[in-house]
Amino acid sequence: MKLGCCYYPEHWPEELWVEDARRMADMGLSQARIGEFTWSRLEPEPGRYDWAWLDRAISILGDAGLSVILGTPTATPPKWLVDQMPDIVAVDADGRPRKYGSRRHYCFSHPDYRKECARIVTALAERYGNHPAVTGWQTDNEYGCHETTVSYSQAAADAFRKWLAAKYDDVDALNTAWGNVFWSMEYRSFDEVDPPNLTVTEPNPAHMLDYRRFASDEVVRFNRLQVDILRAHSPGRDIMHNFMGFVTDFDHHDVGADLDIASWDSYPLGFLEQYWFSEEDKLRYARQGHPDIAAFHHDLYRGCCKHGRWGVMEQQPGPVNWARWNPAPLPGMVHLWTLEAAAHGAEFCSYFRWRQVPFAQEQMHAGLLRPDGEIAPGGEEAVRAAEDLARLDLPETPAQAPVALLFSYEADWLFQTQPQGKDFRYVELVFEMYSALRQLGLNIDIVAPHARLDGYKMVIAPSLPVLSQELIDHLAALDLPVLFGPRSGSKTADFQIPPELGPGPLQKVLPVKVGRVESLRPGLEEVFEGSAVGRWKEDIETDLLPELSLESGDGALYQQGDFRYLAVWPSAKMAKQIFATMASEAELTVHNLPRDLRLRRAGGYVFACNYGPGNLSLAGLDGLPKNAEFLIGTSEMKPASSAVWQKPGEEAPQ
């Protein structure tokens, strides 16, 4: 795995560039991502390009032995462009145009903005496409950041109508699919259909879901435009995009299908602070991040791209500026995050950013260097990580994991549209199940619901509301334990309740029918072996006896043959118990890891990470080898430390 950094030569006097590049190389970095916000410097006035500074920056980095990933600047259309075409800006759900003055102020659907993007990307690709130092491209920057995927602009409305016409052909088909007879919502032509915002009460959920699908397709189309240009002008270079943490507003599997490498931006402390985690977790892991946040995304994005190629484009190096609170990572965490990425098969880990910038929005965001150029604690850990990684010989391609977890972006849009209970959050359900699997020490691949599942030993679908017969048939042919979580098969693709009720087509292989569902407010809970089961519960009609029941006597889990259906939002204890049973059916070894410890196998190595605030001893841990040969760390693990040992009897790959 290469180490790199995100560098902004345009922020610094040119006198610093040579020294910066030399210091990067001396620190063990071999890659720099540059350029993604530079439109106003590349084209200061319409049609007048200024390449000279970028020519020099790229040569300096290349001369120092760094490979360059060049970002296209389309996340930041310059002022003159916005003034020329004021309606390229996105419009929010309240109908307010997003203003110029930060970034991502464009609407994916605007045809003239797409032309402008094609023009600047072509110019850039023609100039640098064959430059020996340029080894890869990043399209735009973080699609979806700052809630910019779904836009309610005029351009989006026009494009949506075309999208609907292509999908339904006949407006009566749309009326039937959406159930528009309800509340007199029937349309006489596609031109009458508006985006689903500013309605008096909630819009038709089918209307909303189609709008989310449309918005996602617009991102795919926008990205593909750039990918096609870059491929044509820059043969042999890898094309990437940097995805985000817990952002699901577009289908990353669809965007990833056009990329060579899926990358993502890893800010574990910021994500812990900003998302749903309990106050207790937020305090316990404030300086480490929840033990599964980074790993979850590593495994998710590995599954988003051809051949499983992926990397970390931006790695948190110290405190960030954008969360509610921004603590400093514990000493050791930047090193640990780097090793965790390597353990999951990243091709590169690139720290954001090289030097903390003293001006503008991100002046409080740490870099590898302080604003005065002194090395920051994160920089020192990057050096240590580079030295440690040099001792490992990791396989080029990560091996298939034994466990597949199915992740559906569409499921998330569907449940956001119709949560039915305030805290039914799909991503959280998936994350909790992922975490339960990881606490058993299992390697996990997170894959698309349409992925081929041959070769896996067990498959978990935390919830798949729109369940296809093909998937059931595919799984039935594989002969492995499978679990479907609550609300699976509960909707048709048109967002209707299926005639046979939930779990839809699963009923053919597992005779259970969901007669009624209920959501439960916090505190309104059932009990499973001392643990609280809340949020969601279904009444199951079946002749089968439940495999697991709640203390009330109601069934929670049903099984027939290889298939299981879970009729509740499980407690962590229940999830672990179910997965341990399935793993033993699949003849997989599991560990009962302490709360703060995680393991990951890669090549002939086992990586262990201690995410806890206290010391941890690996000695005597259930199933861990006695005579392990440690290449990094020891069996006595300090907080925020990692250890790597060779699996006994297994050679590291040559």
> What residues are labeled active site?
142, 314
Give the residue from 564, 565, 563, 582 showing the smallest Cα distance to 473.
563
Task: List the one residue out of 99, 557, 607 whose CA is nearest residue 391.
Answer: 607
Q: Which amino acid is residue 169, in one-letter code? A: D
Q: Which residue has the tokens 């985690």?
A: 277
Q: How far is the CB of 613 from ligand GAL (least distance, A)?
A: 24
Taken in order 429, 434, 437, 439, is the CA torsion positive or negative?
A: negative
Binding site for ligand GAL (CB under 6 A): 141-142, 145, 265, 267, 314, 320, 322, 352, 362, 365
User: Which CB sits closer to ligand GAL, 265 or 292?
Assistant: 265
- Judged by beta carbon, residue 304 or residue 637, the one nearer ligand GAL is 304
Handedness of CA 370, 372, 373, 377 (dihedral sign): negative
CB atoms within 10 A of CB 323: 16
- Smallest gap from Cβ 249 to ligand GAL, in A, equals 14
- The residue among 91 and 313 lying less far from ligand GAL, judged by its C-beta, is 313
Q: Residue 136: beta bridge partners?
A: 69, 238
Cα–Cα distance, 369 to 380 (Å, whole number): 9
* Structure letter (DSSP) for residue 103: S
Cα 126 to Cα 148: distance, rounded to the nearest angstrom = 29
Return all residues near 330 (Cβ < 8 A) that are at least 6 apart. 287, 288, 613, 639, 640
Q: How far is the CB of 364 from ligand GAL (least distance, A)?
A: 10
Q: How far is the CB of 193 from ligand GAL (least distance, A)?
A: 34
Question: Least distance (Å) from ligand GAL to the CB of residue 45?
Answer: 25
Closest C-alpha to 431, from 564, 532, 289, 312: 289
For ligand GAL, the closer CB: 341 or 482: 341
Least Cβ distance, residue 146 to ligand GAL (angstroms): 9
CB of 54 or CB of 451, closer to ligand GAL: 54
Using Cβ positions, the residue closest to ligand GAL within the complex turns out to be 142
- Angle between helical axes of 171-178 and 154-168 (0-180°, round to 10): 90
By C-beta, is 68 or 403 nearer to ligand GAL?
68
The closest of 277, 303, 309, 305 to 290, measured between CA atoms, is: 277
Residues 108, 111, 114, 120: is their CA dihedral positive or negative?
Answer: negative
Task: Tell me the C-alpha distance between 4 and 200, whole Å.
Answer: 50
Q: State in angstroms the smallest separation of the CB of 353 from ligand GAL.
A: 8
Residue given tokens 């003239």 in the structure block: 112
- State which residue, 146 or 595, has the beta carbon closest to ligand GAL: 146
CB of 535 closer than 8 Å to CB of 567:
no
